[in-house]
Structure 1
């Protein structure tokens, strides 16, 4: 079962500038940042709120670190903006199989490691009315995070 919107992924050309915009405009702070070599991105997670299921809702800012990454290709075609929406689930494997059984293409055979040690997979945007959709099972310690010092 999908339990919440986990995050909205936003592709950007300059992570530091975009983080500063979200900090000064909305008061959101970076709770986690990392480089995901597999996805070819440098990212920052800004926590918006907690939820009843123990998870949280985030804004994920994504800056490509190489020209052949999916986010770099997306930026070249579309420019900065919303890249994907992610739904939280306690069981990414089961949810992916259930959705696959309904005729939606799941992009990974097995979930992969995502931000903050989550487990993720993506659904094909052509099967989801043009929206790249991510399924996320958060790591157990997600809500204990404190903002990073800046």
Structure 2
């Protein structure tokens, strides 16, 4: 079902500071910066590597407000890993298959994600306490 780990989402208070840290320390390059009003974040995708199933990234997330999901996460847990995202060939199909196994879906249908992808989230209590995202890449070459 999974093609790759698409990205690791990391919540932070200062996006620019974290971009500088990850760029300097790990020699990662920012490939996309976006503001996602629907999710209440400013974000940067830093490229790690490409593989057969597509690219892998670090996604740095700064909340647009304290009452956004990432803002609430930071207030409760502080900076750090927010979610793990897995690349899938078809996010709607993956949602259906996973939902049939009793895992609660936080999204009723796929929605717009970073880099024009389609995404959906799974309930963390049903997958070992980890907020899990499913990602269908917009680029056919990243869909396997």
TM-score under structure 1 length normalisation: 0.92
**Partners of 2:103 and 2:63 in 1: how far apart?**
27
**Partners of 2:138 and 2:110 in 1: how far apart?**
13
Map 1:40-119 onto structure 2 (within 5 A): 40-53=40-53, 55-119=54-118
SS at 2:39 equivalent = coil
The structural deviation recorded for 1:16 is 0.1
**Partners of 2:21 and 2:140 in 1: how far apart?**
27
The structural deviation recorded for 1:67 is 1.7
The structural deviation recorded for 1:142 is 7.7
The structural deviation recorded for 1:48 is 0.3
User: Contact 1:116–1:142 at 8 Å: present in 2 too?
Assistant: no
List per-residue Cα deviations over 1:23-55 (Å, max 9, x = no partner): 1111101000000000000000001001112x1
The structural deviation recorded for 1:89 is 0.4
Partner of 2:36: 36
RMSD after superposition? 1.1
SS at 1:2 equivalent = coil
Show structure 2 runs of 5+ residues with no match. none
Show structure 1 runs of 5+ residues with no match. 144-150
The structural deviation recorded for 1:141 is 6.6
The number of aligned residues is 142
Partner of 1:146: none
Distance 1:142 1:74, change over 3 A: farther
List per-residue Cα deviations over 1:4-27 (Å, max 9, x = no partner): 100000000000000000011111
List per-residue Cα deviations over 1:67-114 (Å, max 9, x = no partner): 221000000000000000000001000001100000000111111000
